[in-house]
């Protein structure tokens, strides 16, 4: 049985003090939350947020990670450094990384494998642009992002991986895919996973939806059979919008 997984991607927002305040508010508000909840502050706030959520069930996540464990890689953060701070999950291949920082499927795959090697739970983000959707390439694009992102991931490690389907045109735009459209893509991703692994593994995979998830659309999205959670950007920055999303049922 799959369970819901709600993640908040704070992106490049908040000072350390602001991050700690939000984390403390979430600990308070989400005491009764039945779902797995992860928050991913900026790297600079990870350590302080780790302290703030200690003893709660909130999982600490990072928004990205370098593709090497250590060495001469100026400006990068390694899985060892994340683990050292108590980070358990890491968002990889977010569309902002793919499109603004030109991360390729090959690079993202290296990060996924490295995260798994060091015991971090990767959230592999996939999603098509509006142009790709309109050209009829949605399945080709999303399918290859899933296949390439998971290359070399053993069936035994798959349980640690989450996939987030985030149509690029829905991120930060206020445009949400309809629950029906999103569910159809999630079903397609499950079909790709069944081909790569097997049906049981595909049926067990948690696939989050991301792209303008808000308190007023979360329930309709989560009601769909193939949608198992949300990766939330803008609405994760305030306790008043993230709590109702995490507490949707
Ligand atoms: P959004 O961002 O909720 O602000 O659309 C989602 C994401 O980028 O993960």
Tokens of 156: 């035994």
Q: How far apart are CA 222 and CA 12, in angstroms?
A: 27
Which pLDDT band holds residue 213 (cuts at 50, 70, 90)? very high
Which CATH number does the domain housing residue 55 bear?
3.20.20.70
Q: Which position among 96, 103, 128, 166 bears the catalytic label?
A: 166
Length of the chain equals 249
Model confidence over 133-156: pLDDT tens digits? 999 999 999 999 999 999 999 999
Q: What domain range is 26 assigned to?
A: 5-246
Q: State the pLDDT at residue 174.
A: 86
Calculate mean pLDDT across residues 187-208. Answer: 98
Cα(77) to centroid of ligand 1, in Å?
A: 22
Q: State the pLDDT at residue 118.
A: 98
State yes or no: is 94 an active-site residue. Answer: yes
Q: How far apart are CA 25 and CA 180, in angstroms?
A: 33
Pocket test of ligand 1: the residue of 210, 213, 237 to mutate, having most ligand atoms within 8 Å of its CB, is 210
Among the residues of the chain, which ranges form H helices?
16-29, 46-53, 79-84, 95-100, 105-117, 130-134, 138-149, 179-196, 199-204, 218-222, 239-246
Token pair 């050292």: residue: 84
3 state DSSP class of 142? helix
Residue 172 has pLDDT above 90, yes or no: no
- Whether ligand 1 lies within 6 angstroms of the CB of 177 is answered as no
Number of domains in the chain: 1
């Amino acid at each position: 049985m799959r369970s819901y997984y709600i993640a908040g991607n704070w992106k490049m927002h908040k000072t350390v003090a602001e991050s700690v305040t939000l984390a403390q508010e979430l600990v308070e508000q989400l005491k009764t939350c039945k779902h797995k909840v992860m928050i991913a502050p900026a790297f600079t706030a990870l350590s302080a947020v780790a302290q703030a959520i200690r003893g709660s069930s909130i999982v600490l996540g990072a928004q990205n990670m370098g593709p090497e464990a250590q060495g001469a890689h100026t400006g990068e953060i390694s899985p060892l450094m994340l683990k050292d701070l108590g980070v358990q999950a890491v968002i990889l291949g977010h569309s902002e990384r793919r499109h603004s920082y030109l991360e390729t499927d090959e690079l993202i795959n290296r990060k996924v494998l490295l995260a798994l090697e060091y015991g971090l739970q990767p959230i592999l983000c996939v999603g098509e642009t509006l142009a790709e959707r309109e050209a009829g390439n949605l399945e080709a694009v999303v399918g290859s992002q899933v296949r390439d992102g998971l290359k070399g991931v053993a069936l035994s490690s798959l349980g640690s991986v989450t996939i987030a389907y985030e149509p690029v045109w829905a991120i930060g735009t206020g445009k949400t895919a309809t629950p029906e459209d999103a569910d159809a893509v999630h079903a397609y991703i499950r079909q790709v996973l069944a081909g790569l692994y097997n049906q049981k593994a595909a049926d067990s995979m948690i696939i989050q939806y991301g792209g303008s998830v808000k308190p007023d659309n979360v329930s309709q999205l989560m009601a769909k059979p193939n949608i198992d959670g949300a990766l939330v950007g803008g609405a994760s920055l305030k306790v008043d919008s993230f709590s109702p999303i995490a507490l949707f049922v």
